Amino acid sequence: MLWEQLEPMLGVLLAAGLSLIIGLEREYYAKSAGMRTYMLVGMGSALFTVISKYGFNDIMATEFTRYDGARVAAQVVSGIGFLGAGLIFVRRDAVRGLTTAAGIWFVAAVGMAAGAGMYWIAAAASVLYLLVMFGLRPLSAHMPHAKATTRTYTIRYEDGRGVLREIMEAVSKLGVKVLDLRVLGKDQMGDVAVQVISITGQASVTSLESMNDDIRELPGVVEVK
């Protein structure tokens, strides 16, 4: 009797460990759903699956019982969508949270596999997840896109004249997505104090060319590279 209780618990424990490993990737990139969220989803999915598989053996023993325990686990698949939907939001026409929501959905499947006793499949799926997330990220970053490209500009402008605000307004009007903005320091050009910044923007080639020209024409901008 004790082993009958401990064996299903092994699936929950395995789901907790695998979910923790998967959540480390999200925690590393400082995402809102990290280790704790992933562990709770994985353990909860495993527990629902254990309940679905083992929790109704007493009523299924009767001769005229019509019961399908898999329906309990099936509700996890549809119910996890509500949690994932809450992680997706749109800001300035950019969709955020899709990968995290997909990860939540995936870790629920890992938890269900562990809870169902498919230990090797759950472990292999977790390894595959890490290969996809860490292996494809560099490839995606260097892959050319048909509609958008990325360029980095080094801009020098006169300090103390509010030029940076005008630069950001020009960038915003063109619809350029700013991926990175860094202050590189100050410089001296003759008697003029010059601020040096670096902006990485993503947009169409046309928009980036217009951004280059518009920033050059702003009063106080000394140089754009």
Calculate the average pLDDT of the chain. Answer: 75
* pLDDT of amino acid 87: 66
- pLDDT of residue 222 exceeding 60: yes
Q: What is the mean pLDDT of residues 84-113?
A: 72
Distance of alpha carbon 17 from alpha carbon 107, whole angstroms: 11
Q: What is the mean pLDDT of residues 158-184?
A: 81
Contacts 24+ apart (CB under 8 A), 162-170: 163/195, 163/218, 163/219, 163/220, 163/221, 164/195, 164/197, 166/218, 166/219, 166/220, 167/199, 167/215, 167/218, 167/221, 170/211, 170/214, 170/215, 170/218
Q: 186 - beta bridge partners?
A: 195
Tokens describing residue 166: 């005008």
pTM of the model: 0.53
Contact 50, 5 (CB under 8 A): no
Alpha helix (H) ranges present in the chain? 2-28, 35-54, 57-60, 70-85, 98-115, 119-142, 163-173, 205-216
* pLDDT of amino acid 41: 83
Name the residue ranges covered by the structural domains of the chain.
2-142, 149-224
Q: What is the mean pLDDT of residues 173-194?
A: 79
Contact 122, 46 (CB under 8 A): no
Plot region of 92 (φ>0 → left; ψ -120 to 50 → alpha; else → beta): left
Per-residue pLDDT tens digits for 108-159: 888 888 887 888 888 888 888 888 777 766 766 565 555 567 888 888 888 7
Distance of alpha carbon 185 from alpha carbon 220, whole angstroms: 17
Three-state DSSP state, 1: coil
Q: Hey, what CATH topology would domain 149-224 get?
A: Alpha-Beta Plaits (3.30.70)
25-39, 173-187, 211-225, range with the lowest pLDDT: 25-39
pLDDT band at 161 (very low <50, low <70, confident <90, very high): confident
Distance of alpha carbon 217 from alpha carbon 61, whole angstroms: 82
